[in-house]
Amino acid sequence: MVTSATSGEGKTFIATNLAISISHELHTHALLVDCDLRNPSLAQRLGLQSGKGLSDYLAGDGNASELFMKTKVENWTPFRWNDSR
């Protein structure tokens, strides 16, 4: 988990690079979940489509298998979230 007291401190940048590093260096699968339900930003930063996501799944509306997103980075999967903006 990567967290901080205020916005703009680089949490998304650090978490993304950490997940990619784990997938490359340890040759294992890394799952990155954007748990910021108020201001999710990972999809936008990665140029991925947002849709039904973590908040929908937690509310009982969705299947977890639908939330995994494929990337070009081997062994690395971001978890889809909804972006209400």
Q: Would 50 be classed as within a structural domain?
A: yes
Say how many domains are in the chain.
1
Q: Could you read off the pLDDT of 24-63 as tens digits, one per residue?
A: 888 888 888 888 878 888 877 877 776 777 888 889 987 8
Q: Would 85 be classed as within a structural domain?
A: no
Give CA separation, 47 vs 3, 42, 44, in Å.
22, 8, 5
Q: Would 1 be classed as within a structural domain?
A: no
Q: Would 44 be classed as within a structural domain?
A: yes
Instruction: Give this prediction's pTM.
Output: 0.73
**pLDDT value of residue 85:** 41
Write the CB contacts of 79 (distance below 8 Å, at least 6 apart in sequence): 31, 32, 33, 34, 53, 54, 67, 68, 69
What is the tally of helices (H) and strands (E) in the chain? Answer: 3, 2
Q: Would 64 be classed as within a structural domain?
A: yes
Alpha helix positions (H), 1-85: 11-25, 42-46, 54-58
Q: Residue 43 sits in which domain range? A: 11-79
Q: Would 6 be classed as within a structural domain?
A: no
Q: Would 3 be classed as within a structural domain?
A: no
Instruction: Name the residue with tokens 């954007």.
Output: 34
